[in-house]
Amino acid sequence: MESSTASPTSTIGATIWLTGLSGAGKTTIGQAVAEALKARGQRVEILDGDLVRQHLSKGLGFSKEDRDENIRRIGFVAHLLTRNGVFVVASAISPYRAIRQEVRSMIGQFVEVYVNAPLAVCESRDVKGLYAKARAGLIRGFTGIDDPYEAPEQPEVECRTDRDSLENCTAQVLAALDRLGYLPSQD
């Protein structure tokens, strides 16, 4: 979890929820969006799924129930920060639509960003070898292999990381924040 010390120019917070398969580019886009928001003087916290699992959700497994509970915990922290005027950049696979909708309802100021890349592209980016282990049967219940990923039906933003640049994806997210009224105008 990373914080900005810049003076805020807005008291409206929002949660930018990046969802997608492992290796799609959620963390990379999230970091770029956070830096862009900090450059605009906004208070920002990053809630990365891997880091949250190590600290806030330690002990949870990867059953559907545990995955849902992990997302609820991330959502609760995002809710607390958002209501206090912080932009939260949450990047977590969050494979199930119903729990994403539950978190959206809890937070209110919520921008869903579908970080979309074909499975083959995600597998080619897999530096940890998790997809290979899942395909070999060493990991069970791996999202995209033997556990489903339910893509968002109407995300505010869809970033196609197999064909869009990081700069383009970041600009799409910032444009959505502008369009939805979460960012003050830049005069």
The token pair at 140 is 């069970």
The token pair at 176 is 């959505």
94 is catalytic: yes
Phi, psi (rounded to 5 degrees) for 42: -90, 150
Phi, psi (rounded to 5 degrees) for 110: -135, 130
How far is the C-alpha of 172 from the C-alpha of 174, rounded, in Å? 6
* Residue 7 DSSP symbol: P
Tokens 């810049």 belong to residue: 6
The token pair at 124 is 């080619």
Catalytic site residue from 10, 91, 94, 165:
94
Q: Are 27 and 127 in contact (CB under 8 A)?
A: no
Strand boundaries in the chain, DSSP class E: 2-3, 14-19, 44-48, 87-91, 110-116, 157-160
Phi, psi (rounded to 5 degrees) for 159: -100, 120
Q: Which residues are catalytic?
A: 94
